[in-house]
Chains A and B, each alone.
Chain A
């Protein structure tokens, strides 16, 4: 099988991985954002409620990263090895942060001492923040492209991944996740903490919109290859316009305190940004910013059609199952977090 529904298999996997990464951004995005805001809650009770709001779901959310990584490994092994080894240090720091975050959530509630809880609160907040920043840093580097020669060998230096544009994208991702997480927490909390959330949402949304505008301008000016597609297909310009409208809608939802609508809008924002990135990329997966021959296309990096079709079958059976029990778990834990349900 070379194609399915008229779309070739590497493109299918390009789309699927995009969907998985978006799913990961939307799902883990809110619990990472909630983590990054953690130290803004002063009272022990508030912190516990905030933790328990993500308690039953954060682990399942992280699975999307595992599936996304596995899918990239399976579908585009060349790119998997290349991206992870070229961005070695950010990925190692990401892994260390993921471990720290998991154990902070897990260990915090196990001892009553004040210093113990304070330590894990700080560790939870820092690791959540650093995961968001590192994901953004990786994204920023992928948007710009990396120095690769015609043999797809990395010709840059060790710390090249830290550059102004990538840092700007990193901060933007962090701000988006913070806003996203704040709205999630507002939906899950009541009384004092809810009141606190409304202030936080207001501030994080301003922070995000500032980042959003700066990052959009920077991309227009410094990363021209991301706009090429709009020159060829002007009708697609409707997408960035939609993104702007959605971001405006977030503001409006916040003013009306309709946080579910705001949360859905920020989810769509995350997905749309990745869609815009994917459109700028396609049919490449990795861009070289030194030699166009260094671009790696999905066709060059893809596994064989046989392998891709087997996996497409897996995904066809598996993804509806994953979605079903994701919905089931969220439904089971729907509603506001009550203090008698606190477990962390």
Chain B
């Protein structure tokens, strides 16, 4: 790996991992906002309006950073991965253009009304804006995941040209859109995002309950967050299984990497946790012998091709890394199911709000879906290596020819500095908003509602 490649990969990984903190939070919060504002319209209770306004403020902060860091991603394809851009442009471009035209414009356009339109439009139109922003953010995820899925399981294309002039061109748009992995991966990503947003609501509500502040709002918020998270965590089990199924059929080398399975053709074990030594090709840990074979074929004895069945140049080298990220994701997924359904059970028994130890756990739990989303993507992307487009274009061939290592050093330092600062400011302001809590209006029939906005922000 030369320096330009290493640096460009570090830069892309860093900027995309940082970016991926925010959009899932916006998508998940968007769903919660629709429920909160919907309940306000339905019941007319002020507490739901105040709750919605509070979370809209949090949403604005997260959304703003998501947009700014997202523009970086779009342009980085061109700056650092010019060959890749040329290679996939015919295919990937239409997905990206569709995102810009249909999704991103929708959410950014209506965000203005969501944030500033409280007194300018009727409650119904405002609610409609909230729904459109939420839908827009889900559409954005759709097109991006379709494009990424095409890189994992290309379909509906043919290769034109040779050598450095080769490129993939589209032959069947719908086959490209519904490539073998896109639907399952989209649902997996989307539900991961729901979890991320819902757990932010859960965590903040739990914190307010622990502090005994804004308890009315916090109870309502907790209910909404828990229900969304509980349903999502169960659905995630299903979409996760479906996604693994796609990997099994279309990216067997990735599957073998995920479980640290080396033998050319042998029954494969499933690990609960473990450690892979890629040099000695040994995987040790707590396992269900033949478990992977059972999951894939329904038979503990059926063989599955291991890493040695593939040319060393065509399979991932960071085996232990992928193994660990994958298992961490699964472990967190299971924990979230237990946590949310236990929480709902306690809510049903009317004990939840008095169980301080559980509220403490809920407060910290916001990190769990964040970590799971991150490591899940590490699994998907590192597990795809050494390919940037699976089986077609190698990562090492996809770089910009005009860019030198010193260029990338400069940009990497710039991005690192800016993002570290951005992240600290984000945490500071988020914390401030949370401590400040919902603005509770004192009932005064003489005060027109327009004053509210001034103080809330």
Decide if B90 is an interface residue (CB 8 Å cutoff). yes
Decide if A158 is an interface residue (CB 8 Å cutoff). yes
Decide if A310 is an interface residue (CB 8 Å cutoff). yes
Residues of chain A from 13 to 69 with CB closer than 8 A to chain B in the complex: 55-57, 59-60, 62-63, 65-67, 69
Decide if B339 is an interface residue (CB 8 Å cutoff). no
Interface size on A, residues (CB 8 A): 70
Decide if A75 is an interface residue (CB 8 Å cutoff). yes
The size class of the interface chain B forms with chain A is 35 or more
Decide if B81 is an interface residue (CB 8 Å cutoff). yes
- Contact between A92 and B411 (Cβ–Cβ < 8 Å)? yes
Known A85-B403, A103-B68, A304-B169: A67·B98 in contact at CB below 8 Å: no
Decide if A292 is an interface residue (CB 8 Å cutoff). no
- Contact between A329 and B401 (Cβ–Cβ < 8 Å)? no
- Total A-B contacts with CB atoms under 8 angstroms apart: 250
Decide if A164 is an interface residue (CB 8 Å cutoff). no
Residues of chain B from 282 to 307 with CB closer than 8 A to chain A in the complex: none
Decide if A343 is an interface residue (CB 8 Å cutoff). yes
- Contact between B82 and A81 (Cβ–Cβ < 8 Å)? yes
A74 vs B99: C-alpha distance when bound (angstroms): 12
The minimal Cβ–Cβ distance linking B71 to chain A, given in whole angstroms, is 6
Decide if A77 is an interface residue (CB 8 Å cutoff). yes
Residues of chain A from 293 to 344 with CB closer than 8 A to chain B in the complex: 303-304, 306-307, 310-311, 314-315, 318-319, 321-322, 325-326, 328-329, 332-333, 340-344
Interface of A is mostly: helix
Q: Which residues does chain A contribute within 8 Å of B101, judged by CB atoms?
A: 67, 70, 314-315, 318-319, 321-322
- Contact between B454 and A342 (Cβ–Cβ < 8 Å)? yes
Q: Which residues does chain A contribute within 8 Å of B71, judged by CB atoms?
A: 62, 65-66, 95, 98
- Flag A67-98 by CB within 8 Å of B: 1 or 0 each: 10111011111101111111011011111101
The minimal Cβ–Cβ distance linking B272 to chain A, given in whole angstroms, is 41
- Contact between B410 and A89 (Cβ–Cβ < 8 Å)? yes
Q: Which residues does chain A contribute within 8 Å of B160, judged by CB atoms?
A: 304
Interface of B is mostly: helix
Decide if B91 is an interface residue (CB 8 Å cutoff). yes
- Contact between A73 and B85 (Cβ–Cβ < 8 Å)? yes
Binds A, one of B39-47, B107-115, B228-236: B107-115
Q: Which residues does chain A contribute within 8 Å of B106, judged by CB atoms?
A: 321, 325
- Contact between B100 and A77 (Cβ–Cβ < 8 Å)? no
Chain A residue nearest to B419 in the complex (CB):
A99
Chain B residue nearest to A315 in the complex (CB):
B101
Q: Which residues does chain A contribute within 8 Å of B173, judged by CB atoms?
A: 306, 310
Decide if B96 is an interface residue (CB 8 Å cutoff). yes
Known A70-B93, A77-B93, A84-B75: A99·B418 in contact at CB below 8 Å: yes
- Contact between A98 and B116 (Cβ–Cβ < 8 Å)? no
Q: Quick one: which of A105, A310, A325 contacts B105, CB cutoff 8 A?
A: A325
Decide if B271 is an interface residue (CB 8 Å cutoff). no
Known A103-B65, A303-B89, A332-B121: A63·B99 in contact at CB below 8 Å: no
A62 vs B109: C-alpha distance when bound (angstroms): 10
- Contact between B104 and A74 (Cβ–Cβ < 8 Å)? no
- Contact between A100 and B77 (Cβ–Cβ < 8 Å)? no
Q: Quick one: which of A67, A88, A103 contacts B64, CB cutoff 8 A?
A: A103
- Contact between B96 and A81 (Cβ–Cβ < 8 Å)? no
Decide if A109 is an interface residue (CB 8 Å cutoff). yes
- Flag A149-163 by CB within 8 Å of B: 1 or 0 each: 000011000100000
Decide if A237 is an interface residue (CB 8 Å cutoff). no
- Contact between B104 and A66 (Cβ–Cβ < 8 Å)? yes
Q: Which residues does chain A contribute within 8 Å of B167, judged by CB atoms?
A: 77
Decide if A106 is an interface residue (CB 8 Å cutoff). yes
Known A62-B67, A315-B101: A88·B457 in contact at CB below 8 Å: no
Q: Which residues does chain A contribute within 8 Å of B400, judged by CB atoms?
A: 81, 84-85, 88
Known A88-B411, A306-B170: A341·B453 in contact at CB below 8 Å: yes
Q: Which residues does chain B contribute within 8 Å of A55, judged by CB atoms?
A: 112, 116
The minimal Cβ–Cβ distance linking B425 to chain A, given in whole angstroms, is 6
Q: Which residues does chain B contribute within 8 Å of A67, judged by CB atoms?
A: 97, 100-101, 104-105
Q: Quick one: which of A74, A76, A88 contacts B79, CB cutoff 8 A?
A: A88
Residues of chain A from 102 to 132 with CB closer than 8 A to chain B in the complex: 102-103, 105-107, 109-110
28 A–B contacts from the bound complex (CB under 8 Å): A59-B108, A66-B70, A66-B71, A70-B74, A71-B100, A73-B85, A73-B97, A74-B96, A77-B89, A80-B89, A81-B83, A84-B85, A88-B402, A88-B407, A96-B418, A110-B432, A153-B402, A154-B401, A304-B169, A311-B97, A311-B98, A314-B98, A314-B101, A318-B105, A321-B101, A325-B106, A329-B112, A343-B116
Interface residues of A (CB under 8 A from B): 55-57, 59-60, 62-63, 65-67, 69-71, 73-78, 80-86, 88-89, 91-96, 98-100, 102-103, 105-107, 109-110, 153-154, 158, 303-304, 306-307, 310-311, 314-315, 318-319, 321-322, 325-326, 328-329, 332-333, 340-344
Q: A73-B89, A341-B453 are in contact. List 15 more A-B contacts (CB 8 A).
A: A60-B105, A63-B108, A67-B97, A74-B94, A77-B87, A81-B83, A84-B78, A94-B75, A95-B75, A96-B418, A304-B90, A322-B101, A325-B105, A333-B117, A344-B457
Interface residues of B (CB under 8 A from A): 60-61, 64-65, 67-72, 74-94, 96-102, 104-106, 108-113, 115-117, 119-121, 160, 167, 169-171, 173, 400-404, 406-407, 410-411, 414-415, 418, 422, 425, 429, 432, 450-451, 453-454, 457
The 3 nearest A-B residue pairs measured at CB: A77-B89, A74-B93, A81-B82
